[in-house]
Amino acid sequence: MASTQPTSDKGRRNTGEQAPVIRVIGLAKSYGKNAVHKDINLMVNNGEILTLMGGSGSGKSVLLRSLIGLEKPDRGEIYFHDQEITQLSEEDLISVRKRIAYVFQYGALFDSLTVMENLAYPLIEHTQLDEKQIRDKVLETLKKLNLEGTHNLRPADLSGGMQRRVGVARSIIMDPEIILYDEPTTGLDPYNSKQIINIMVQLKNSGVTAVLVTHDMHTIFAVSDRIAFLKDGVIAVEGAAEELRTSKNPLVHGFIHGDTM
Ligand SMILES: Nc1ncnc2c1ncn2[C@@H]1O[C@H](COP(=O)(O)OP(=O)(O)OP(=O)(O)O)[C@@H](O)[C@H]1O
Ligand SMILES: [Mg+2]
């Protein structure tokens, strides 16, 4: 089937900016009778922030998890560059997950470890850095999120907003090529939201590609290049963030102005 081949490399060699780094083709996923994804087709271009919007339960988190092989689709393909990942073994997925970071909806830190230990963990597991290099890298990453001085604390000693920032710090510590953010600012106060938005913009400016899931309009329009709307198992609308902001499309308008779930 022609559409399943990685043929869309036309622009890739000539225009680095527009080259897709992720391609989702004909993805379908059901849980029992619940057909969450019916036919998802989506591209994420190099260096952009693509935001996925959609009602609660529309399958945004399932789609993010699928992009790093945490969910196996029933049908369809996902390409990370030219590598098809839905069929990879857990062992082969390790190398993909080193390059694609996932910021969990709820922090997901190890409660019994200090902030230093939480952040050092992926570096110890996946790099050859020595103890001093790891410590330096952790401190440098904490600084990026204005979390200096927290390294000896445990998650329970931090506010919810700080915990979320530590979660982001842990996700970016491996210098990922792509970051998947699941509701990174939802429920946060303006200060903590702003810290996370700042780091998202900084990472984007340094060329990191991202997929963002959020309902938070402020975050969406502060960072997104493009927006894709997930509804009834397909990408119902997709376009540049600026275009969609003023769109008259009832679905888009409803989401942005809070008339639609
Ligand atoms: N492991 C699972 N087993 C069974 N059903 C699941 C599983 N994971 C997700 N689902 C179902 O898939 C649907 C989509 O879930 P998902 O978490 O992706 O929604 P979402 O768009 O992220 O919603 P929210 O905005 O509330 O986070 C839901 O109906 C959910 O109940
Ligand atoms: Mg979700």
pLDDT number for residue 50? 98
pLDDT digits (tens, 9 = 90+) for 131-151: 999 999 999 999 999 999 999
Buried b (16+ CB within 10 A) or exposed e, 139-154: eebbebbbbeebbeeb
CATH, residue 156: 3.40.50.300
User: Does any domain span residue 192?
Assistant: yes
**pLDDT-based confidence at residue 10 (cuts at 50, 70, 90):** very low
Mean pLDDT (the chain) is 90
- Mean pLDDT confidence for 163-178: 93
Range of the domain at 232: 48-70+93-256
pLDDT number for residue 257? 84
User: Does any domain span residue 14?
Assistant: no
User: Does any domain span residue 3?
Assistant: no
**Cβ–Cβ < 8 Å for 260, 232:** no
Say whether pLDDT at 15 is over 70: no
Q: How many domains does the chain have?
A: 1
- Closest ligand to 71 CA? 1
User: Does any domain span residue 176?
Assistant: yes
pLDDT number for residue 258? 80
Q: Is 64 in the pocket of ligand 1 (CB under 6 A)?
A: no
User: Does any domain span residue 23?
Assistant: no
**pLDDT-based confidence at residue 187 (cuts at 50, 70, 90):** confident
Q: Is 261 in the pocket of ligand 1 (CB under 6 A)?
A: no
User: Does any domain span residue 77?
Assistant: no
- For a mutational test of ligand 1's pocket, the pick from 29, 36, 102, i.e. the residue with the most ligand atoms closer than 8 A to its C-beta, is 36
pLDDT digits (tens, 9 = 90+) for 218-230: 999 999 999 999 9
Q: How far is the CA of 62 from the centre of ligand 1 (A)?
A: 6
The count of residues in the chain is 261
Which residue CA neighbors atom 9 of ligand 1 most closely?
Answer: 62
Say whether pLDDT at 260 is over 90: no
Q: Is 65 in the pocket of ligand 1 (CB under 6 A)?
A: no
- Mean pLDDT confidence for 45-62: 96
- For a mutational test of ligand 1's pocket, the pick from 33, 61, 74, i.e. the residue with the most ligand atoms closer than 8 A to its C-beta, is 61
- For a mutational test of ligand 1's pocket, the pick from 29, 52, 60, i.e. the residue with the most ligand atoms closer than 8 A to its C-beta, is 60
pLDDT number for residue 11? 37
User: Does any domain span residue 5?
Assistant: no
- Mean pLDDT confidence for 107-120: 92
User: Does any domain span residue 229?
Assistant: yes
